Amino acid sequence: ETGVTQTPRHLVMGMTNKKSLKCEQHLGHNAMYWYKQSAKKPLELMFVYNFKEQTENNSVPSRFSPECPNSSHLFLHLHTLQPEDSALYLCASRGSTYEQYFGPGTRLTVT
Amino acid sequence: AQSVTQPDIHITVSEGASLELRCNYSYGATPYLFWYVQSPGQGLQLLLKYFSGDTLVQGIKGFEAEFKRSQSSFNLRKPSVHWSDAAEYFCAVGSGAGSYQLTFGKGTKLSVIP
């Protein structure tokens, strides 16, 4: 595998379910990001991790819980979501310069 | 706070025609600027970036962009569009130390007529 991978690619869950999104980067980077992309809205930054430490939480509701066990892996744990949380969730990683490299995303539908 | 404006929501061009996608930014210091492309159902792919130096930067897939400080612009260009260029294009500006956040524009959707 190369670059940034995300699983699953598609997820349908009920509002009472608990699920997790996984991101893995194979680029040797030290920073990882979660973004939410909804239709007709700009990309929204959710969380930032640098060297496994969370450095940014962009006022994200507590029903989204990130986890970064090491610099290569990032999880987003989901519970009691709302229909408006349906979106494409993108993971990205960054090395020593500014550019971020994105995974293909997880398309989440909350029913 | 920084911001990015992409004034065109949707652009349609004929295959083989030239393309220019507009991007204006607001940022107090010297910006780090990026263009990304997103095909349907996919993540964002980096096309090109500007950090410093030559204001005309070359990217992948035949794209280029020019940084104009006086106009706070970073427009993306391609001399001859291919049908496979149909996608959504995002301009972004990088800010500050620490978390190295990117602020994205709302995107421009490009349609290509055969």
pLDDT in the model for residue B97? 57
Non-local (6+) Cβ contacts of B29 within 8 A are none
State mean pLDDT over B57-79: 96
- The answer to whether B58 contacts chain A (CB < 8 Å) is no
Other residues' Cβ atoms within 10 Å of the Cβ of residue B27: 18
Q: For an interface test with A, which of B39, B48, B51, B101 has the most A Cβ atoms less than 10 Å from its Cβ?
A: B101
A54: phi then psi, degrees, rounded to nearest 5: -75, 125
**pLDDT tens digits, one per residue of A21-74:** 999 999 999 999 999 999 878 899 999 998 888 888 888 999 999 999 999 999
CB B49 within 8 A of CB A101: no
Non-local (6+) Cβ contacts of A81 within 8 A are A13, A15, A17, A63, A108, A110
Q: Is the pLDDT of residue B100 over 80?
A: no
Q: Is the pLDDT of residue B96 over 70?
A: no
CB B14 within 8 A of CB B26: no
Contacts of A48 in chain B (CB under 8 A): 99, 101
- Residue A1's pLDDT band (cuts 50, 70, 90): low
Q: Is the pLDDT of residue A96 over 90?
A: no
- The answer to whether A108 contacts chain B (CB < 8 Å) is no
- The answer to whether B109 contacts chain A (CB < 8 Å) is no
b (16+ CB within 10 A) / e for A32-41: bbbbbbeeee
Contacts of A31 in chain B (CB under 8 A): 99-100
For all residues of chain A together, what is the average pLDDT? Answer: 93
CB A91 within 8 A of CB A6: yes
- The answer to whether B42 contacts chain A (CB < 8 Å) is yes
State mean pLDDT over B44-48: 96
pLDDT in the model for residue B98? 55
- Helix, strand, or coil here: A30? coil
Question: Do A42 and B34 make contact, defined as CB atoms within 8 angstroms?
Answer: no
CA dihedral B59, B17, B109, B38 (to 10 degrees): -30
